[in-house]
Each structure stands twice: as structure tokens, then as C-alpha cells.
Amino acid sequence: MELELKNVSKEFSGVHAVNHVSFSMKKGVYGLLGVNGAGKTTLMRMLCTLIRPTGGEILWNGKNILGLGADYRNILGYLPQDFGYYPDLSIYDYMMYIASIKGIRQGAARKRTKQLLGQVGLAKYEKRKMKTLSGGMARRVGIAQAMLNNPQILVLDEPTAGLDPNERIRFRNLISELSEDRLVLLSTHIVSDVEFIANQIMLMKNGRFFYAGTTEDLVSSMEESVWHCTVPKQSVNDFVGKYLVDNVKTVPGGAELRILSKVPPTKQAVREEATLEDAFLLYFGEKAGDKDDTEI
């Protein structure tokens, strides 16, 4: 089981959304991190055969996925970032329709639909129309439809976008549960989504992977340290301008700052353990999820 990107590029009107990416993925959870506009969605759409790469090729077990066609899509499950559905169908009918276009026989589709809806906690809502579902419920249907064909490759594009913290945690656990024996590629710009469940992290910026490895390796590769200090309120802006500030918390008599720096920002600064979010801030130069660019 190997999904290989060989020098893959995608160009839109002269702009490289994905720029000569080469990478190989096997079984496990891969977290694709990047700010909005980094090229994550474009890469995922190419992996799902929705768009053709301008250059390079994507291979599944050594064969071009576009050549494999339906055989490749048969082992693929995809939850797009902008998950759309047929609003007038019930959850059950929606699942059955997707099962039918995935080539699952009716009997098996019924069984699998019941099982998956149970797994995502929607069994009792199966008769409800899709248009009446909350964002979180719709996303759960999204993951269920992606799992219908028990895919070897599960591609999840920003699966937690728009979910509240509870839904996000539930979703993360669900993905972790479903990731056994398959390749899961999960893109996000929310670090906590992948921090604990991804075996491998890929950082993507301007259409390129500039880091790939484990969370621990990524964090330990940082030259900067994480510092915690309390400063007067009026000097917060000076610190924000001078350092990469991860967090600002107002407290009586000042503000507590979490700062990334090679040297202690104040004499009283205390060193803290670095996290993936700190690495994200360091490499992307902004706090995760703050920027809201249009996704490419």
C-alpha cells in the first residue's frame, strides 16, 4: 500500500497552487498542515482525481491513479472541505445513493449504512432530511459516506472546519478510530486536529512541502524556545512587534505572554515545553487559524 506523489504540480492561470511536490505515503495518519491558500485542497482534489495535475504524477502501488480510474476510486473515501449533499434526501437515502455510486450492492449498502450511522451517532436520525442537519451532524454524515466502501485511502479535507470544540473532539476521536489499517490524509489549518492522532505531519506553504516528519521531530527541530513571561499591559505591543507571540492573556497588573524566541525575552521569563502549535507559529509566522484567506 503506497501512495506516491512524483513531482506533482498544479497551475491555475500562471499561479502554482501545488509546486513540484514529491512524497510517499503508506499506512497511517498523515496530517497536512498549512495556512489557508497553501495548496492543501488542490493537492487533495488531485489525489481524489477531481483535477488533473499540470505536471508530475500520482501513483498508487506504482500505477498512475488517472489510469486506474474507477479501480482507484473504488479504494478511495473523500470528505471534501466544502462538503455538499442533496438537501432533500434523508440521511439514509443519501447514504444509499452514495453507496450505489460507489458500486456497493443494495443489501451490503443497507448493512454498512446502518453500521456507519451508528458509529457516527446518527442512527436515530436516519430519516431526517439532510437540509435539517447541523454543521456537525452533516460533517458526521460526510465521514460516514467516505467510509462506506471501507476505503484503503481516506482523504479528509478540513474535516473539523466550522465545528464547535465538542464536535471537534468527537470528530478527532472518530477519525482516530477509523484510521486502522488504512492511509488517512487529513488536511487542516487547526493544529490540535492532528497533533495527537497523526503519525506524520507535512507542513505546506506556497504549494510546497517544506517539512515532513513526526510531531516530536518537528518540535525538537525548532531552534527557538518557548518562553512564558508576564509584562506590563502597555508594553504588550512592543513584545508582539519584536517576538513571535503565541498567546496573550490579560491578568491583573499586566499580561501573560507565550513567546517563541532563541533568547529569553525578559529576565523573569520561564522556559516551557514546545508544542506543534508553537512549531506552526514559527514556520507560518502567524497563529494557527487566525488568517482567513481564500483557499486555493
Partner 1 sequence: MILKYELKKVFSKKMNRIVLIAALLAAVALSVFAIGSVRYVGEDGAGHTGLTASRHLAADRNRWKGGLTGDKIAQVVSSEKEIRLQYPDDVPNEIYGKTLQSYNDIENFVIGVLTPDTVWDTGVLYQLEDEQAKNLYSIYEKNLQEMAGKYGETPEQQRFLTEQYEKTELPLTYEAKDSWDTIVMYVETYAMILAIVIGFLAAGIFAEEFRSRADAVYFSSRYGRTNAAKNKVMAGLLMTTIVYWAGMGIMSLVSLGVMGISGVSTPYQIYQPYSIYAMTYGQYYLLAVLCGYIASLLAASVTMLIAAKMRSANVAVCVPFFLFCVMPFIGRALSAFLTFFKLTPDMLLNVIECAKNPNIFQIGNYVFRQIPCIMLLYFVISIILLPFVYRSYHRYGLKK
Which of 34, 80, 159, 207 touches partner 1 (CB under 8 A)?
A: 80
* Contact status: 203 vs partner 1 (CB under 8 A): no
Which of 2, 7, 26, 87 touches partner 1 (CB under 8 A)?
A: 87
* Contact status: 226 vs partner 1 (CB under 8 A): no
Which of 5, 21, 76, 147 touches partner 1 (CB under 8 A)?
A: 76
Which of 67, 103, 232, 285 touches partner 1 (CB under 8 A)?
A: 103
DSSP 3-state of 165:
helix
Q: Give the integer Cα–Cα distance in Å for 209 and 19.
A: 9
Q: Give the integer Cα–Cα distance in Å for 83 and 222.
A: 35
Q: Is 145 or 160 the residue whose CB approaches partner 1 more closely? A: 145
238: enclosing H helix or E strand: helix 236-242
Nearest distance from residue 265's CB to partner 1, in Å? 45
Q: Which of residues 25-64 bind partner 1 (CB under 8 A)?
A: 45, 48-52
Which region, judged by CB under 8 A, interacts with partner 1, from 77-85, 211-219, 242-250, 276-284?
Answer: 77-85
* Contact status: 68 vs partner 1 (CB under 8 A): no
Q: Is 15 or 270 the residue whose CB approaches partner 1 more closely? A: 15
Q: Give the integer Cα–Cα distance in Å for 3 and 22.
A: 11
Q: Which of residues 108-167 bind partner 1 (CB under 8 A)?
A: 109, 142, 145-146, 149
DSSP 3-state of 244:
strand
Full strand arrangement of the beta sheet holding 254-261? 244-251, 254-261, 225-231, 270-272
- Helices (H), ranges, 26-150: 40-47, 65-68, 70-73, 91-101, 106-119, 135-147
Q: Give the integer Cα–Cα distance in Å for 284 and 280.
A: 6
Which parts of this chain interact with partner 1 (CB under 8 A)? 45, 48-52, 66, 69-70, 73-74, 76, 78-80, 82-89, 93, 96-103, 105-106, 109, 142, 145-146, 149
